Structures are given as C-alpha cells and as structure tokens.
C-alpha cells in the first residue's frame, strides 16, 4: 500500500498516522499504515466515542448495605459546558 493511498485510513486515524510516521522510512510508514488499518476498530473516533464491550462482567459486592436515597441534582448547564470545552482543549 503506497503511503499516498492512506485514504484507506479512516479520518480519525490520519492524524495519528502522520504523527507516527515523522522521521520514519517509507517501509516503516507502510507497516504503520497497515497496522492502523488492521486494528482501526480499536481506536476511538473522537473523545465522545466510549464504546461498549460484552467481554467482561463484574459484580460490586455491597453486602447487605441499603441503597443511599438522594434526590438527583442537576449540574448547572454552564458548568457542564465549561467542563466539556476544557476537555476538548
């Protein structure tokens, strides 16, 4: 696969490919592109892509503790927006 045809890479992997191939030989860049394409499903599309797996399951042992009853409290929308913007920077 020629490096110029890295169009096979999905959009979110192009930046990673470019950063990973700086100072690498042509052969190494081809290997990196091949690896990224082969395992493209293991990389996040963006920061909000959390994914889901059915491969692991766990149990939280609470013994006989009763659930804590509290009314749900909303976080002010302005604070949520500030936090989301900070996370993106």
pLDDT tens profile 28-75:
999 999 999 888 878 877 767 777 778 888 888 888 888 888 888 877
Q: Which residue has the higher pLDDT, 21 or 40?
A: 21
pLDDT at 32: 92
The arithmetic mean of pLDDT across residues 70-89, rounded, is 84
| CA separation for the pair 61, 58 (Å, rounded) | 10
Helix (H, G, I), strand (E, B) or coil at 35: helix
2: confidence class by pLDDT, cuts 50, 70, 90: very low
Asked if residue 9 has pLDDT above 90, the reply is no
């Amino acid at each position: 696969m020629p490096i110029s045809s890295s169009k096979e890479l999905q959009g979110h992997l192009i930046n990673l490919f470019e950063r990973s191939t700086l100072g690498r030989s042509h052969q190494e860049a081809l290997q990196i592109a091949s690896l990224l394409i082969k395992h493209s499903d293991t990389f996040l599309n963006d920061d909000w892509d959390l994914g889901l797996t059915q491969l692991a399951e766990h149990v939280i042992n609470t013994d006989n503790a009763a659930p804590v009853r509290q009314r749900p409290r909303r976080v002010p929308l302005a604070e949520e927006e500030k936090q989301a913007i900070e996370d993106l920077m």
